[in-house]
Amino acid sequence: MTSQRTRDRMVARLEDAGIHDERVLTLMTKEPRHLFLDEALAHRAYEDTALPLGQGQTLSQPYMHARMTELALAASPRPSKECRVLEVGTGSGYQTLLLARLLGHVASLERIAALHLRAQQRLDWFGLDNVELRHADGGHGWEGLAEGFDLIVVTACASILPQALLKQLAPDGVMIVPLAEDDSDRQWLTRVRHVGDTQDIQRLEAVRFVPLLEGVIR
């Protein structure tokens, strides 16, 4: 259930579901998603479903990882290999891996220490030299940053647009973030683009993510 044939079937489903960027499809054919789950769940890694990571968190379904990566590539305001990315919510580290393979530099924040350490160990296996992880409250962004990020990818649902993260976007930067709809349990994947001193905000599609929470867990 973790063979190349299984990954190929997953990618065929992604194409049928509307993922068209060949860079994303090729990458997800190659990368071993099952390594980002505990051994007891590894055989389910390529199913079209979210899976538990512990600590109340989940590994998103393959479609959502593909979609977030495809949107990030499409939104990049500069050549992909020069793009500086902030990921809020490292989780398992699988989304981090996809972003790092296709974009320039990825800084990733995780509020739960156990997940942060596990993701660090997993990503170390791949020998990436363009990833930096930090155990911190993602809602505050990457504190101490001298320059803005070209892309910010948030992998948890915010109740309102995170203002601290907006301030860390570069002048032409883009944020991809799930946002809760007022007075509803609906969530919308949302693209936020800096346009001068304002933001162009566009709803993309209905989604379901864990909530973006404050603080850190040690």
Q: Are 207 and 185 in contact (CB under 8 A)?
A: no
Give the C-alpha separation, 80 to 138, whole Å: 23
Give the C-alpha separation, 105 to 85, whole Å: 6
Q: Is beta strand 57-59 parallel, antiparallel or unpaired with respect to 169-180?
A: unpaired
Catalytic (active-site) positions: 60
Nearest in space to 87 (alpha carbons), one of 126, 130, 122, 43: 130
Q: How far is CA 165 from the centre of its chain?
A: 15
Name the CA dihedral angle for 103, 149, 68, 36, rounded to a multiple of 10 degrees: 70
Q: Are 43 and 72 in contact (CB under 8 A)?
A: no
